[in-house]
Amino acid sequence: MRKNKVKEIWAKNETALCGWIATESTVLAEMVGASSCDAVVVDLQHGASDMHNLLGMMQAISATDAVPMVRLPANVPETIMKALDFGAYGVICPLVNTAEEAAALVTASRYPPQGGRSFATARVFQYAGADYFDHANEEIIRLAMIETEEGLANLDEILAVDGLDGVFIGPTDLAIALGLRPGPEGTHQKLEDAIAHIVARTKAAGKKSGIFASGGAGAKRRKSEGVDLVVPTAELYLFKKILADELAIYHS
């Protein structure tokens, strides 16, 4: 089976750089994958993509060296299994608030006897190799999003779930949950303390943490704070910023 590059990076105690696709453009997905990103996440929760075009998005990313990953729209077994069948090497599940919900994510994404994933001769075998079934349970990345007060309160129990690789911090929703107005890194000490707590507890559990950042500087900061998977921005926000900067030059 093709090795999971992100897991290889983690094995060296290094931080993986991850792109994020909010549009449904296979061209942009391939372009981000061909950059210096170690992985690319297709966002099915808030992005324009859905299960109807996910297969093409996975193929576009797979044409590069980046690891194809998916942020799921919800913790639904059928969706999890199909995303993996299409070629996702990692799944990020939103709004995981309890250990039971984290366990459901793991169960749906692992073949028996460790889980309840249904087998299909799917597209992923073309990408991963004929021995995919034998190694998928170990190579697939499973991250539970911590973005609510309940999830934060149950963090240690969530991290204790066998087969869960770690957590992915949703700083915007977590800020809102804490009664704060979202902003870039360093805006609220209360949020920074919560993020530091999540990262520390995750490391103590021997697992990995990821986070969405407000840009390259924010991602670099999170890397220095010990986060294992950093997302500098989504391609949609990057395009918007670059366009605004160029038009500002024109109008100056």
Asked if 137 and 162 count as a contact pair (C-beta separation under 8 A), the reply is no
C-alpha 187/C-alpha 198 separation (Å) is 18
Closest among 121, 116, 89, 120 to 105, alpha carbons compared = 116
135 labelled catalytic: no
Helix (H) or strand (E) holding 239: helix 235-251
Cα separations in angstroms, 146 against 10, 92, 93, 154, 240: 20, 10, 9, 9, 27
C-alpha 224/C-alpha 167 separation (Å) is 18
Core vs surface per residue 34-50: b (16+ CB within 10 A) or e: beebbbbbbbbbebebe
Sequence-distant (6+) residues with CB within 8 A of 125 are 132
Phi and psi, residue 109, nearest 5°: -105, 5
Helix, strand, coil: what percent of the chain each, to 5?
45, 15, 40
> Which residue of the set 46, 52, 135, 251 is catalytic?
46
Please identify every residue annotated as catalytic.
46
